[in-house]
């Protein structure tokens, strides 16, 4: 397993442990206090737990070896499970919370034992912060100085992107829930609690939308991130066997990478020498970037119109 895969696994396990404990506390507190916002948050945490199980399953399945039906392996299966996570977050976490909030706007019920709700929310903030810290630690390790937003747009690690997105949404949701419960206590009006449930649901739907957009690009077939693609192109052109890179295509395949190169080669004394030169370039690429699992190299000439 690669270091990036280990990092994603650690982040998922951090999140699963935190969300499991938070879900139990929130469900117990929502039943005890009658808070709709806490119920929405409990459903959110339960959805997050299921999501992390999906991501773990995806990581495990992606390591299956290639077979006749899947000659390039199962690396991209992690994108399917990431999409399932986004859909679950949208419908189970977001839409259900909104519907619960709307229902209780029509029939608001007073909250009881608000101190319990506050304590549970405080504990949840701490646990979610620990989970987010674990995810951000892994992101900083691989982002190489990029801002979080830039990393989010360019990353091809769907599982780490999903964990970070969920954790950020969870902390924002907890802030909303804390505000809703506080307003309910101060004003004595349970409508604030119902509005808090709706706002948490809308937040989850927005986050799920962003994750879906990014994962869709990966499923469709996305190149390596721009910096890596530029580094690969520069490496090939720096080789003495190559005069010029004519075309370069990269395709992210889960953790692995496919590279197709069309290049004008330096003159060689024979066909065998040309083949040896191409093999040297391919070997240098796979030594420099072990994630390049497949490399297809085509020698060509510069067309007149170029």
Mapping DSSP to helix (H, G, I), strand (E, B) and coil, where does residue 306 land? coil
CA separation for the pair 143, 135 (Å, rounded): 12
Q: Which CATH number describes the domain made up of 226-299?
A: 3.30.70.1350
Q: Do domains 3-220 and 226-299 have the same CATH topology?
A: no
Q: Which CATH number describes the domain made up of 3-220?
A: 1.20.1510.10
CA separation for the pair 229, 236 (Å, rounded): 11
* pLDDT tens digits along 195-207: 888 888 888 888 8
- Residue whose entry in the numeric block shows the structure tokens 């280990």: 6
**Residue partners of 211: CB distance under 8 A and separation at least 6:** 82, 85, 86, 89, 161, 162, 165
Domain borders along the chain are: 3-220, 226-299
What strands, in cross-sheet order, belong to the sheet with 292-299? 242-253, 256-265, 292-299
Give 247 or 84, the one with higher predicted confidence: 247
Give 5 or 249, the one with higher predicted confidence: 249
Average pLDDT in the chain: 82
CA separation for the pair 151, 155 (Å, rounded): 5
**Residue partners of 59: CB distance under 8 A and separation at least 6:** 5, 8, 9, 12, 78, 159
CA separation for the pair 165, 214 (Å, rounded): 11
* pLDDT tens digits along 159-194: 778 888 878 887 888 888 888 888 888 888 888 888
Average pLDDT over residues 116-132: 80
Average pLDDT over residues 246-264: 89
* pLDDT tens digits along 49-81: 887 888 888 888 888 888 888 887 888 888 888
Which of 165, 152, 139, 154 has its CA nearest to residue 52? 165
pLDDT at residue 45, as a whole number: 79
Q: What is the dihedral of CA 169, 172, 178, 180, to 10 degrees?
A: -90
Which of 88, 236, 98 has its CA nearest to residue 162? 88
Extract the tokens encoding 27.
Answer: 């469900």
Extract the tokens encoding 49.
Answer: 């737990």
The radius of gyration of the chain from alpha carbons, rounded to an integer in Å, stands at: 25
Instruction: Work out the angle at residue 152's Cα, subtended by the Cα atoms of residues 140 and 20, and round it to the nearest 5 degrees.
Output: 75
β-pair partners for 252: 257
CA 264 vs CA 16, 65, 126, 251, 297: distances in Å: 50, 34, 57, 22, 11
Q: What's the farthest any 2 CA atoms get from each other in the chain?
A: 89
Backbone φ, ψ for residue 293 (5° rounding):
-85, -35
pLDDT at residue 66, as a whole number: 82
CA 21 vs CA 120, 171, 300: distances in Å: 11, 15, 59
Residues 174, 45: contact at Cβ < 8 Å? no
* pLDDT tens digits along 3-53: 555 667 777 887 788 778 888 888 888 887 777 777 777 877 787 788 788
CA 124 vs CA 115, 118, 215, 228: distances in Å: 14, 10, 28, 38
CA separation for the pair 218, 172 (Å, rounded): 26
Residue 272 binned pLDDT confidence (cut-offs 50, 70, 90) = very high
Backbone φ, ψ for residue 130 (5° rounding):
-65, -45
pLDDT at residue 261, as a whole number: 93
Q: Is 296 exposed, middle or buried (0-12, 13-18, 19+ CB in 10 A)?
A: exposed
Average pLDDT over residues 259-268: 92
């Amino acid at each position: 397993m690669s270091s990036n895969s280990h990092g994603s696994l650690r982040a998922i396990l951090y999140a699963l442990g935190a969300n499991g404990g938070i879900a139990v506390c929130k469900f117990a507190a929502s039943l005890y206090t009658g808070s709709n916002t806490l119920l929405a948050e409990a459903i959110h945490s339960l959805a997050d737990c299921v999501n992390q199980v999906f991501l773990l399953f995806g990581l495990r399945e992606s390591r299956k070896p290639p077979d006749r039906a899947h000659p390039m392996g199962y690396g991209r299966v992690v994108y399917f499970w990431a999409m399932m996570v986004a859909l679950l977050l949208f419908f189970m976490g977001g839409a259900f919370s909104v519907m619960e909030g709307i229902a209780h706007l029509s029939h608001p019920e007073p909250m009881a034992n608000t101190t319990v709700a506050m304590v549970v929310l405080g504990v949840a903030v701490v646990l979610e912060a620990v989970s987010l810290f674990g995810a951000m630690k892994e992101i900083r390790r691989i982002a190489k100085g990029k801002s979080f937003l830039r990393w989010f747009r360019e990353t091809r690690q769907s599982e780490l992107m999903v964990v970070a997105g969920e954790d950020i949404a969870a902390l924002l949701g907890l802030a909303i829930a804390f505000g809703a419960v506080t307003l309910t206590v101060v004003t004595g009006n349970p409508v604030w609690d119902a509005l808090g449930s709706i706002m948490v649901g809308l937040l989850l739907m927005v986050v799920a939308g962003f994750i879906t957009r990014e994962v869709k690009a990966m499923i469709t077939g996305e190149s390596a991130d721009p910096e890596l693609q530029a580094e690969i192109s520069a490496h090939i052109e720096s080789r003495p066997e190559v005069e010029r890179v004519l075309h370069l295509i990269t395709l992210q395949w889960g953790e692995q990478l496919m590279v197709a190169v069309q290049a004008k080669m330096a003159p060689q004394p024979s066909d065998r020498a040309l083949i040896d030169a191409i093999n040297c370039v391919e070997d240098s690429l796979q030594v420099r970037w072990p994630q390049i699992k497949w490399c297809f190299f085509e020698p060509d000439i510069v067309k007149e119109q170029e």
